A and B are shown apart, each in its own frame.
Chain A
C-alpha cells in the first residue's frame, strides 16, 4: 500500500512531462508559467489561512472541545461509542491536523482495530474540512454569499459519519 502511494506522485510527474515532450510542448516554459501563477494563488489565500488557523488555535486552546465532549458524552453513551468520536467529527470540519491528533488519541486509548478506532479511521477517510475548504475556495472567487453550500456540505458530512458508525459496527 505504502509502495503504491510512494509511486503515484513521481508517476504523475513522469506522465505529465513525458506527454508534454511527445506533444512538443515547451515544457519548462509552461512549467514556469504555471508555477508563477501558483505563487499568486497562495499569496491570495494567506490572509484566509491566518484567520482560520488562529480561529482554530484559539478554540482548541480555550478548552471548547473538551467542554463539547463532556456535553456530548451522554448522547454518545446511548449510541454506544466514546464521546471523542463526536468531537472528532466537529473538529474535522475545522482542521485536518487537529482531527488527526484526536484520532491518534483514540488509537492509543482503544487501539486502531477496536470499534472506536475503526469508526475514527473510516470517519476521517470519508469527511473533509468543511469550513476550511469553503473559506479558501470561495475566497478564490471572491464570493461572500455561499447559498446552499453549507447545507449540502454538512449533509454529506453527516451521511458519511453515520455510515462510518454503521460500517464499523458491521465489521464487528
Chain B
C-alpha cells in the first residue's frame, strides 16, 4: 500500500510539475526536502533519546505498570488477545496517555517500541512471517488496531491550534477546545467501532489457522 502512495506522490508530483511549468520548483523541492528531512532527524534524535530515557526510568520504577493498570480495561477491550503481562501493553498505554496529553514527542518513541513488541508477540505466537528476517510481513490485527487508534487522534487539548489562533487575533482562542474534544471523540469512536467490527469478522478465520 505504501509503495503505491509513495509512487503516487512522486509520479503525480513530476507530472503536475510538467503541466504547471513548475519543474524548477519541483527540482529544488526534492533537494531541499532531503536536507530538511535530515535536519528534522537531528532534532528528533535528541528529543526521542530524551523521552526514551525518561520512559526507561518510568518503566524500571514501575510507573508504566501503574499507568497501564489505569487504562487497562479500555486496552483489554481493544486488544483482547494480547497476554496481560506482555511488554507491548506498557508501550501501548504510554503511547495512548502521551497522545491524550498532547505530548507529541513522547508518543512516537513509545509507539515505535509498541510496534516492535507487537512484532515480538507475533514471533512468540509462531507466525512464520515474523520468525525469519527479510520475509514479507503482514500486519497483525493488533498492529492495525493500534495504528487506527493512533491515527484517529486522541489529543484532548489542541495546544498548538490555540496558540496559532491567538497569534492570528482570535477573540477567543480556546473556543476550539470543546468542539475539538467532541470531534476527536467522534473520530476515535468511529475508529474503535470499525476495529471491533473488523476484529469480529476475523476471529473465526484465525481460529482455523
B-contacting residues of A (Cβ < 8 Å)?
Answer: 1-2, 4-5, 8-9, 12-13, 15-17, 19-20, 22-23, 25, 27, 30-39, 41-43, 45-46, 49-64, 66-67, 94, 100, 103-104, 107-108, 111-113, 117-118, 121-128, 130-131, 133-138, 140-153, 155-157, 159-160, 163-164, 167-168, 170-171
Q: Is B184 an interface residue (CB 8 A)?
A: yes
Q: How far is the CA of A108 from the CA of B15 in the complex (A)?
A: 31
Q: Is B131 an interface residue (CB 8 A)?
A: no
Contacts of B5 in A (CB 8 A): 131
Contacts of A104 in B (CB 8 A): 164, 168
**Interface of chain B residues 5 through 30 with chain A (CB within 8 A):** 5-6, 9-10, 12-17, 19-20, 22, 25-26, 28-30
Task: Say which residue of A45, A50, A107, A153 sits within 8 Å of B147 (CB atoms).
Answer: A153
Contacts of B63 in A (CB 8 A): 15-16, 19-20
Q: Is B78 an interface residue (CB 8 A)?
A: no
Question: A30-B57, A63-B16 known; 17 other A-B pairs, CB under 8 Å?
Answer: A5-B159, A20-B57, A20-B61, A34-B49, A35-B56, A43-B45, A113-B172, A125-B180, A131-B5, A133-B150, A133-B151, A144-B137, A145-B138, A152-B198, A155-B194, A156-B152, A157-B151
Task: Say which residue of A8, A57, A130, A167 sits within 8 Å of B151 (CB atoms).
Answer: A130
Closest 10 CB pairs of A and B: A34-B56, A57-B33, A160-B187, A38-B52, A61-B29, A125-B158, A38-B49, A58-B13, A55-B9, A125-B180
Contacts of A103 in B (CB 8 A): 161, 164
Given known A-B contacts A8-B103, A54-B34, A141 and B184 have beta carbons under 8 A apart: no
Given known A-B contacts A5-B159, A145-B139, A34 and B22 have beta carbons under 8 A apart: no
Q: Is B183 an interface residue (CB 8 A)?
A: yes
Q: How far is the CA of A57 from the CA of B165 in the complex (A)?
A: 26
Which residue from chain A places its CB closest to the CB of B12 in the assembled complex? A64
A-contacting residues of B (Cβ < 8 Å)?
Answer: 1-3, 5-6, 9-10, 12-17, 19-20, 22, 25-26, 28-30, 32-34, 36-38, 40-41, 44-45, 48-63, 101-103, 106, 108-109, 111-113, 115-116, 118-119, 136-139, 141, 143-148, 150-153, 155, 157-165, 168-176, 179-180, 182-184, 186-188, 190-191, 194-195, 198
Contact present for A62 and B164 (CB under 8 Å): no
18 contacts between A and B (CB under 8 A): A1-B174, A12-B54, A23-B62, A25-B57, A30-B56, A58-B9, A67-B19, A112-B169, A112-B173, A128-B150, A133-B150, A138-B2, A146-B139, A147-B144, A156-B153, A159-B190, A160-B152, A170-B179
Contacts of A52 in B (CB 8 A): 6, 37
Contacts of B40 in A (CB 8 A): 49, 53
Contact present for B165 and A107 (CB under 8 Å): yes
Contact present for A159 and B29 (CB under 8 Å): no
Which residue from chain A places its CB closest to the CB of B191 in the assembled complex? A156
Contact present for B152 and A62 (CB under 8 Å): no
Given known A-B contacts A61-B25, A62-B12, A64-B16, A31 and B186 have beta carbons under 8 A apart: no
Task: Say which residue of A16, A67, A135 sits within 8 Å of B54 (CB atoms).
Answer: A16
Q: How far is the CA of A170 from the CA of B183 in the complex (A)?
A: 12
Contacts of A155 in B (CB 8 A): 190-191, 194
Which residue from chain B places its CB closest to the CB of A150 in the assembled complex? B1
Contact present for A118 and B53 (CB under 8 Å): no
B146 smallest CB distance to A (angstroms)? 8
